[in-house]
């Protein structure tokens, strides 16, 4: 587990070099997720790398935030960190595995990728909710992440809420959610690399 920021005499978190590296990785992961919204065609091989960097960025922010969570409320630290790291790592591995298959996760295997994606969005939302509650990183970024992750679920194909031939409000909501998820990781990453901030202790 990476060493997180140190508590300063004023009660704030002083980011370490490791914090800044992990925060920068989180920013990069959020940025490459938002690249999909630009009017450009992304080659399939680069798209896989984009998704991998997105998951790595999420893991980096979660790992950097863990010690801060533990210092403020140890009861929630592991319950927040483990699900987010495991689900993002699982989604990363399955994304790479899918890129090596001629028919990625066809048939019954599709439910595996769906489950991994659903678990990832839910754990990201949970991480955002707890981080906002504890106040160890920007509450705005954490709230944006939580809301965006929940909205992103609406676009998952196996839920049947969206389809190319049957446009519904769920499609735009899901795309908005994905964009908010990326923005949330960026805001949290920026908060990790900048000046010390005051920690809020909760009972």
pLDDT in tens, 129-185: 999 999 989 999 999 999 999 999 999 988 888 777 777 889 899 999 999 999 999
What's CA 66's distance to the chain center, in Å?
14
Is 71 domain-assigned?
yes
**How many structural domains is the chain composed of?**
1
Is 2 domain-assigned?
no
- Confidence label for 22 from pLDDT (cuts 50, 70 and 90): very high
Is 203 domain-assigned?
no
Is 63 domain-assigned?
yes
Q: Per-residue pLDDT for 201 more than 90?
A: no
HSE of 160 in the Cβ direction (CA atoms, 13 Å)? 0
Is 34 domain-assigned?
yes
% the chain with pLDDT above 70: 83
Domain extent at residue 56: 12-198
HSE of 2 in the Cβ direction (CA atoms, 13 Å)? 22
Is 6 domain-assigned?
no
pLDDT in tens, 108-136: 557 888 999 999 999 999 999 999 999 98
**According to the model, what pLDDT value does residue 44 have?**
67
% the chain with pLDDT above 90: 55
Q: Per-residue pLDDT for 107 more than 60?
A: no
- Mutual angle of helices 44-72 and 110-134, in 10-degree steps: 40
Continuous H helices in 73-169:
74-99, 110-134, 139-152
């Amino acid at each position: 587990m990476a060493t997180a920021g140190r508590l300063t005499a004023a009660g704030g978190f002083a980011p370490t070099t490791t914090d800044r590296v992990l925060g920068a990785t989180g920013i990069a992961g959020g940025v490459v997720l938002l690249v999909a919204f630009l009017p450009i065609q992304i080659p399939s091989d680069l798209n896989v790398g984009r998704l991998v960097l997105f998951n790595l960025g999420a893991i980096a922010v979660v790992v950097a935030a863990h010690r801060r969570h533990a210092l403020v409320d140890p009861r929630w630290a592991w319950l927040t960190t483990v699900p987010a790291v495991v689900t993002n790592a699982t989604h990363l591995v399955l994304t790479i595995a899918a890129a090596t298959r001629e028919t990625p996760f066809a048939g019954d295997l599709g439910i595996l990728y769906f489950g991994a994606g659903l678990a990832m969005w839910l754990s990201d939302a949970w991480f955002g909710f707890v981080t906002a509650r504890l106040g160890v990183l920007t509450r705005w970024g954490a709230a944006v992440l939580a809301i965006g992750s929940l909205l992103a679920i609406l676009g998952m194909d196996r839920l049947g809420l969206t389809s190319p031939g049957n446009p519904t409000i769920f499609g735009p909501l899901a795309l908005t959610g994905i964009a908010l998820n990326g923005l949330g990781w960026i805001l949290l990453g920026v908060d990790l690399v900048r000046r010390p901030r005051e920690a809020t202790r909760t009972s």
